[in-house]
Structure 1
Amino acid sequence: MAELNGSPISLDHLQALALTNYGHFTSIRVEDGHVRGLFLHLARLARDCRAVFDVDLDLDRVREFVRRAAPPSGACVVRVTVFDPALDLGHVGSDAHPQLLVTTRPAGALPLPAMRVQSVVYTRDMPAVKSVGLFGSLRHRRNAQRAGFDDALFTDAESVISEGGTWNVGFVKGDQVIWPGAECLVGTTMELLRQVHPSSTATVRLGDLADFDAVFATNIGIGVRAISAVDGATFPETHPVIEQLRKEYTEIPVDLL
């Protein structure tokens, strides 16, 4: 399903998104018409719209379109992409009138098996914004997969770990969770977990990995997914804290769309 402002999207509008590729989005896991952290998704859309287009977003309209797109039962992922079809490469500085593209896809079963990641020096443009410009992230994901890994883990030139290609990373020491103290996109799953499980934030470098008992990734599509290897460093595919995080996440109260 793909609708622009509640109506089927035209080829011209899709072409504008594909060729100019300027905008932002959020992906929402909907289960039986309910969402965990709906307020976080809406706040992200509002914040990013102001940062990317210098205008305010009608969040009631967003919620209406998401509600229409999501099936009443079962699980799916609804993506809300905010872009202006009238902006093109030569006139991207014009006053913007952002439109709402709502698409859906099936939601995968959770939990997913552990994954292996390859570190790479890379920082996304405007890391705090969930932008549609994913070329760099996907290029590094492709390179990692062709090297035998599942995904890429980003660091800066000083080996400070920030985030994965489309997910946050967390580290386990004892019963504590440590989130990287680096500029990144704070995902809704990460934010919700910070509210229900003891955690702290610290600078984590690749050279610090031996100090941790387990590593995991989070986003709405993968939930809480163990990371079994970062480059040549290995970690358990299961760990009590990771299992506890999964349990705590599923117990978070849901919001009705």
Structure 2
Amino acid sequence: MTTTELVQRIEIDGQPATAGSLLWPALVTTGHFTAMQVRGGKVRGIDHHLARLDAATRELFGRELDGERVRGAVRHILRDDIDDASVRVYVHAPDGEPSLMVTVREPVELPDGMVARAQALMSVPYQRPFAHIKHLGGFGQARHGELARSAGFDDALLTGPGGKISEGAVTNIAFFDGTRVVWPDAPHLAGVTMQLIEARLPAAGLPTSHAPVTLADLPSYAAAFVTNAWGVSPVRRVDDVTYDVDEKLMATVAGVYEAAPWDTI
């Protein structure tokens, strides 16, 4: 699923973006970001978002990033007139110190019903560099996603040597063997939705594990699903391997995600 809504607002360090202030973000791809869905001024997993931003800022720029600064920047751009939105927080360091660019778009809602949101994925031989960071400059994954959609798929599935599956172009992927949810043990970004779900599935009767999964292994799994900031969706096909939508599995996974609390920004 893609979204083409235009950005409604852009602020950089609490100020409306100008042509001058946008030069660095437009021309320099050293940076990182997090993406969140805001509903009623709240976000699921805000602590995970803040931890992601702080860890990547320390790794890339050698500086810490105060979570309250991030919260304040998001609250400032939403003001009192936007309750529901797609929000991204970007971190650059044009002068060596972290600078926050926050953007607001229309909120994204997945289709009702799991069958309607089921995904077809095309495997591609590509892995994101520094995959643990949600970094900028993702031409490779974006281009593979475009090629997948032009071939009639919904998105790309990134793989490494030997067909080892790592993640979707903009999602995490998990497989179900009939008993256990298996997350591919390969370089990937641990998405916030993935973290929220993985931590809560065992209490819902679904044990989880991380293990290598290759394209050759796909027929041995009963079902698969993907997660990202928009929510959870079943996978109906990877290349020529098809899966039925497991309504019971997806009800459990979606229920666990929907039960995750909304945090005040």
Q: Same fold (TM over 0.5)?
A: yes
Q: 1:149 matched to which residue of 2?
A: 153
What residue in structure 1 maps to residue 222 of structure 2?
213
In 2, are the aligned partners of 1:32 and 1:71 still within 8 Å (CA)?
no
1:119-155 deviations in Å (ceiling 9; x for gaps): 0111111000000111111011111112111111011
Q: CA–CA distance in 1 between the matches of 2:47 and 2:148?
A: 34
Distance apart, 1:181 and its partner CA:
0.8
- Runs of 4+ in structure 1 off by over 6 angstroms are none
Question: What letter matches 1:99 in structure 2?
Answer: S
Correspondence 1:31 to 2:35: no
Corresponding residue for 1:91?
none
Matching residue of 1:80: 89
% same residue: 39
Contact residue 37 and residue 108 of structure 2 kept, 8 A: no
1:5 aligns with 2:19: no
Contact 1:116/1:228 (<8 A) preserved: yes
What's the secondary structure of 2:188's corresponding residue? coil
Indicate the SS of the match to 1:12. coil
- CA apart distance, 1:13: 2.3
TM-score of the two chains, using structure 2 as the length reference: 0.89
Matched, 1:241 2:245: no
Normalised to the residue count of structure 1, the TM-score between the two structures is 0.92
Q: Could you say which residue in structure 1 is the equivalent of 2:209?
A: 200
Partner of 2:128: 124
2:65 maps to 1:57 = yes
Q: Which residue of 1 aligns with 2:5?
A: none
Q: Deviations over 1:2-38 (max 9, x none)?
A: 1001110121222221212210000111111111110
Q: Please, which of 162, 165, 170 is the counterpart of residue 158 of structure 1?
A: 162
Equivalence for 2:262: 254
Give the Cα separation in 1 of the matches to 2:232 and 2:83.
20
Q: Helix, strand or coil for the counterpart of 1:120?
A: strand
Shift of 1:74: 4.3
**Cα offset, 1:71, TM superposition:** 6.1
Code of the residue aligned with 2:20 in structure 1: it is D
Could you tell me which runs of 5 or more consecutive residues in structure 1 were left unpaired when the two chains were aligned: 87-95
Task: Provide the C-alpha distance between the structure 1 equivalents of 2:30 and 2:150, rounded to a whole number of angstroms.
Answer: 28
SS at match of 1:16: helix
Deviation at 1:216, TM superposition (A): 0.9
Q: Determine if contact 1:6/1:65 at 8 Å carries over to the other structure.
A: yes
Return the match for 2:143 from 134, 139, 144: 139
Q: Secondary structure at the match of 2:54?
A: helix
Question: 1:191-233 CA distances to partner (integer Å, 9 max, x unpaired)?
Answer: 0001110311111010111111111110112x00111110000
Structure 1 residues 157, 19: CA separation in 2 closer, same or farther (over 3 Å shift)?
same
Alignment partner for residue 228 of structure 1, among 209, 231, 236? Answer: 236
Could you tell me how far apart the structure 2 residues matched to 1:203 and 1:175 are? 17
- The residue correspondences of 1:157-196 to structure 2 (distance < 5 A) are 157-196=161-200
Distance 1:82 1:68 in 2: 16
Cα distance in structure 2, aligned partners of 1:69 and 1:219: 23
Gaps in structure 2 of 5+ consecutive residues: 1-8, 202-206
